[in-house]
Amino acid sequence: MATSLFQSIFHPSEIVALIQYKFLKSSPIHVIPPEQKAKIRCYEFLNKTSRSFAAVIQELDDEIRDAVCIFYLVLRGLDTIEDDMSIPIEKKEPLLRDFHKTIYKKGWTFDENGPDEKDRQLLVEFDVVIEEFLGLRKKFQNVIADIADKMGNGMADYAKDAAYNKYGVMTNKDFDLYCHYVAGLVGIGLSSLFSTSGLEKPELAKETELSNLMGLFLQKTNIIRDYLEDLLVNRRFWPKEIWTKYVDDLADFRKPGYEKKAVDCLSTMILNALQHAPECLTYMNKIQNKSIFSFCAIPQVMAIATLALLFKNYNVYHSVVKIRKGETVKLILKCTNIYEVANIFRYYSKVIIQKNDSKDPNFMKISVACGKVNLLHII
């Protein structure tokens, strides 16, 4: 709290928001009866493994909260297998492809992750996630298993692709497909869970393209922000089709003399993500339930705020650039309805327009993309 307040010292409205948020947060968080040991452990895992989603998931209405929590933990488990480079591909491929069946195996656990894998403990105690999964309504189970099947097979296809392992993601089309597997499918699954619960209309489950783009917008923003972190562990998610226009090796952007190229390539990446913003607003405009609305909107506004902060920001190549806690909290407090969220999107599109300059090769396209966010009037 002290560091967050200090970081916002020149942003008084954020100080107010930080203090307001601190008091609001101490109001009811759902109590789980002490005999439900597995469920308690699942929520502990949720809070341990997710900085960005734990809070919004726990604020969901009762009808949907546990299903979304288990959906998250199942996919986090799958991702913990995907991310682990110490598991040989012969072992990894069947683990990923069969994961949708594994979640029905009472008592299954996995202790073969590398010792440094950040969420290894989740799989070591995965029997508790399975227990809770098996306690969900059959309809929820089917949605979760279907998404785990598609995601696991998509991850396995990439994990055994030789070009992907050598160079990373190749084309823009590849980039969209990879992001579809790891994040777009989450959006599609969530829409099905919302409809199944009865909290949203059945039609929402049919909006698979808009749901997919909700995930793409979040995942692409993370991939842009995490350039350095990923490069240091030799993971390359920026599509080769984009960066080869500027350099021969993705790591060259870090070298002295490449600053202009680096910032221009960053603009191309940000433009690519920003093009999804209008459709994300269109999706959120369809949400009726208040708790689901906040759950969807908070990650989205953080993403557009992050894109605005990253734009023209050469620091991306030398450190991890993140929005201040005070700014995050201010956004969370504002995310109450579609009009506010549309205003926040417009605000950040203006921040981007102000940083845009005519010497940027993407100047025109960025102006157009921001213009589309600005002009979108909801209802």
* Residues involved in catalysis: 178, 225, 235, 295
Told to check if 149 binds ligand D61 by CB under 6 A, we report no
Among ligand D61, Mg ion, none, the one that 215 touches (CB under a kind-dependent 5 to 8 A) is: ligand D61
Residues 6+ apart with CB under 8 A from 204: 191, 194, 195, 286, 287
Q: How far apart are CA 197 and CA 229, in angstroms?
A: 38
Name the one range near ligand D61 by CB under 6 A: 122-130, 213-221, 340-348, 352-360.
213-221
Q: State CA 187 to chain mean position distance.
A: 10
Told to check if 125 binds Mg ion by CB under 5 A, we report no
Exactly one of 11, 38, 63, 83 binds ligand D61 (CB under 6 A); which one? 83
Site string for ligand D61, 285-314 (x = CB under 6 A): ----------xx--x---------------
**CB of 294 closer than 8 Å to CB of 336:** yes
Which residues within the stretch 82-101 sit at the binding site for Mg ion (CB under 5 A)? 82-83
Q: Which backbone phi and psi does 54 adopt, to 5 degrees?
A: -55, -50
- CA nearest to 279, candidates 266, 295, 296, 291: 296
* Smallest distance, Mg ion to C-beta of residue 209, A: 23
Number of residues binding to Mg ion, judged by CB under 5 A: 3
Site string for ligand D61, 222-261 (x = CB under 6 A): x---------------------------------------
Told to check if 340 binds ligand D61 by CB under 6 A, we report no
Residues 6+ apart with CB under 8 A from 200: 191, 194, 286, 287, 288, 289, 292
**CB of 312 closer than 8 Å to CB of 266:** yes
Residues 6+ apart with CB under 8 A from 93: 156, 159, 160
**Is the Cβ of residue 18 or residue 287 nearer to ligand D61 in the bound state?**
287
Told to check if 214 binds ligand D61 by CB under 6 A, we report yes
**CB of 221 closer than 8 Å to CB of 273:** yes
- CA nearest to 169, candidates 91, 264, 243: 243
* Smallest distance, ligand D61 to C-beta of residue 297, A: 8
- The binding site for Mg ion (CB under 5 A) comprises 79, 82-83
Binding footprint of ligand D61 on the chain (CB under 6 A):
53, 68, 71-72, 75-76, 79, 83, 182-183, 186-187, 190, 214-215, 218-219, 222, 295-296, 299
